[in-house]
Homo-oligomer: A and B are copies of this chain.
Amino acid sequence: MFSTAALTVASLLASQASAVLMHNGVAVTPQMGWDNWNAFGCDVSEDLLLGTANRMVELGLRDVGYYYIVLDDCWSDGRYPNGTLKPDFTKFPNGMAQVADRIHALGLGFGMYSDAGKYTCGQYAGSLGYEQLDANTFAEWGVDYLKYDNCYNEGQSGTANISYARYDRMSQALNETGRQILYSMCNWGQDHPWDWAYLIANSWRATGDIYDSFDRPDVRCPCSEEQGFDCAFPGFHCSVMNIINKVTWFIHRSQPGGWNDLDMLEVGNGGQTDDEYKIHMTMWAALKSPLIMGTDIRSLDANAYTIYTNPAILALSQDTAGASAQRRWRYYVPSTDMNGAGEIQMWAGNLAQGDYVMILLNAANQDMTMNATLADVFLDQGGAISAEAKSNWDVYDLWANRMPNATANMILDTNSTVGTMNGTSYLYNATAQSYADGIANNDTLLMGTHVGTWQAGAQSTWSATVPRHGVMAYRLRPQGAPTMRKRDEL
């Protein structure tokens, strides 16, 4: 009976702050930030990081919660004679500590990258065998976040205990430094990290690498969906739908302090439609993936900006219950696209304070009228016989209040959110007031737009027309006092 952790922790968190297993105190909700890889690969530099960090402040991205600036692979130039990692001074002429300082000065956290192997994926020096030395170096530099990759690992994988031992060494080394460093495991889901990584890491990659496609299959992401929980070759070039459908089986293993990582966001990189990017963002939030922007912040367009900053979606991500939505049903449909894919899905999950989220995902090749029943939404509460299905619910549309492009363009053009933050209702300042408090205060930015009442009744149906490759996402709030669940798990 291993399924109750998330809820238990959520309950514990209400009363005791130290309840998160991974005792480093970070990632109590899924981490948010930016990483250069998806947009820049190895083309890294001090300028890129600091320029991005500055603009994240200017655009309000920091204040809506994107905290970590993560420098990915290709930053090093081997090791000093004493073994210490040496930065590439061409790219980082002032060294890493100064980068960290300047990022910190902006109110942001600094993330770096290494690899649990002989080399990084880009074939720079890896940390296997250098765990404590490198952890110390990162701590000295002021690093707040470590992404830890899996390339060139000398064959140290194949069963959970082999992978656990390898990744645990860095976990212990980071703890040993005394510095609070978020530990982001990147082993692509090998050896089922959702079974064991929670004890040692704040997040763990759950699949092969993402690429900027909604549902195109690629030979380099070969495991079938059914192999999602036992994939011998995670690969890369995995589409958004591929990742969603693979993590479905084990996504419930996320919980405060330790999250399934669905990989960095592609929003803004041009390979998907606006509706597809909305699916991408919505599902990453509902499934409690870390939200790491993966595009060029300095040339962000309005569509991407308004997706990344939608307060109602970010509140979903940062909900303190920390419980992933679950897929309630899925149907294949005849309307398939050029990739041969066509399906619709309904997802639901519980949020803090008795709220719920309900998502209608349309991956068919045409607009679809989709229907959900309370019995399906509240399956885990008892379905048709649950108290929840006998209540009325207020329904809030999480995308209805998305910032208009005109407003976004004003911000992007002026590099300033001052007016917006103060005078409009499209950005939420989570630095000023947490998402949890905002929800507790019924902040309308976070609740979304009220669009109706869902009447009680097991077969009572919510119906919506969802655009082709699009999504509708709702917060459900009980009318009257929320039902208290007397136990964790039906």
List residues of A whose CB falls within 8 A of some B CB.
1-5, 8-9, 12, 19, 21, 37, 39-43, 72-74, 118-119, 121-123, 149-165, 168, 186, 188, 191-192, 195-196, 198-199, 209, 211-212, 218-220, 222, 224, 226, 228-230, 232-233, 235-237, 248-250, 252, 269-271, 326-327, 379, 382-383, 385, 486-490
Contacts and interface: CB of A to CB of B under 8 A. Distances in A.
A40 B37 CA distance: 47
A2 B161 contact: no
A118 to B, nearest CB: 6
- Copies of this chain present: 4
A399 B316 CA distance: 51
B487 A42 contact: yes
Given A162-B159, A382-B270, A486 B195 contact: no
Given A195-B155, A220-B252, A490-B212, A1 B236 contact: yes
Contacts of A162: 158-159, 161
B157 A195 contact: yes
B122 A4 contact: yes
Nearest to A223: B229
Contacts of A1: 37, 72-73, 121, 149, 186, 209, 236
Given A154-B164, A160-B158, A198-B152, A233 B219 contact: no
Nearest to A147: B1
A13 to B, nearest CB: 11
A209 to B, nearest CB: 5
Contacts of A224: 226
B43 A486 contact: yes
Given A159-B159, A222-B249, 13 more contacts: A1-B186, A4-B41, A21-B123, A41-B486, A155-B163, A155-B164, A155-B191, A155-B195, A195-B233, A212-B490, A219-B249, A270-B385, A271-B382
Contacts of A385: 270-271
Contact of A121 (B2, B248, B252): B2
B229 A232 contact: yes
A201 to B, nearest CB: 12
A230 B229 contact: no
Contact of A158 (B12, B152, B159, B186): B159
A157 to B, nearest CB: 6
A378 to B, nearest CB: 13
Nearest to A160: B155
B220 A3 contact: yes
Nearest to A263: B1
